[in-house]
Amino acid sequence: MSVWASTHEHTSNEAFNHTNGDVFLWKYFWPQLGQYFGMDIPEQTEWAALGDNEQLANNFSMRDWAKDKKPVWERVVAKYGGSPQAFDWGTWDFVEWGLGKAWSTISSVGKARKFGWQRSDDSFEIYVQTFRAFENAGVLPSVPVADDGRLTVSATQNGDRAVNPRDAVLSRLKKAGMAGVLKSTESNILINGESDLPQMVGATDVAKPHERIGYENGIAQCA
């Protein structure tokens, strides 16, 4: 939206809310994110009594929690891949504020729509795309895919680094000699994390835990 607003004359000197365009509640959204990482998220009901009371309601302080967790992160990335420096980029204060609000905060993109903004994104899909972009960039550990096509965090054979689904697709395209498809879709996969490729190869054929692709500097190297 920043690019759109700064490149059109009729949007100059205007302020816009920037949201995905959909509406979600964290109490329902957390279980979806948990599924991506293979976790079951218990239902939280303890904050319901707070209603619209504008106060933060956190079970614990993210700032305090993070103080001694960097060595844990370093062990995680040493085993599963990722960047040791990524932990230092965590905005723990913002997370504590953003997730601790016990009141509803719904932002409207109505004004942007009136000025011509048309994009709308599914929040869960955008989160997954962001995760996968960071995985492909070597910032986060990769989440492997089980034989049934579901994402899982279970360890791969011999403890090797997990293969990102999009990396596996790119590898197969390259091996199949589909250079044109690879060239036209590679940037979309690595940056946006989404493409039509899963529909082309089939959900259960995107990536399997036992398949290996070499890595260098966090990026998959296709044989």
| Per-residue tens of pLDDT for the chain, all 223 residues | 889 999 999 999 999 988 887 777 777 788 888 887 777 877 766 555 555 555 656 667 788 888 999 999 999 999 888 999 999 998 888 887 777 766 667 778 889 999 999 888 888 888 888 888 888 888 998 866 544 444 444 433 333 444 454 555 555 556 555 544 444 444 444 433 333 333 333 333 333 333 333 333 333 333 3
**Using CA atoms, how far apart are residues 63 and 26, in angstroms rounded to an integer?**
20
**Using CA atoms, how far apart are residues 52 and 154, in angstroms rounded to an integer?**
39
Q: Which two tokens stand for residue 45?
A: 């009901």
**Using CA atoms, how far apart are residues 168 and 175, in angstroms rounded to an integer?**
11
The alpha carbon of 15 is separated from its chain's Cα centroid by a whole number of angstroms, namely 27
pLDDT at 85: 92
Q: Where are the alpha helices (DSSP H) in the chain?
A: 2-6, 26-36, 62-66, 70-80, 92-100, 110-114, 123-136, 165-175, 179-192, 197-201
pLDDT at 191: 35
Q: Which two tokens stand for residue 156?
A: 């791969």
**Using CA atoms, how far apart are residues 17 and 208, in angstroms rounded to an integer?**
41
Q: Does the pTM of the predicted model rise above 0.85? A: no
Residue 173, class by beta-carbon neighbours within 10 Å (0-12 exposed, 13-18 middle, 19+ buried)?
buried
Q: Which of 41, 42, 40, 92 is nearest to 66 (CA)?
A: 92
The alpha carbon of 16 is separated from its chain's Cα centroid by a whole number of angstroms, namely 24
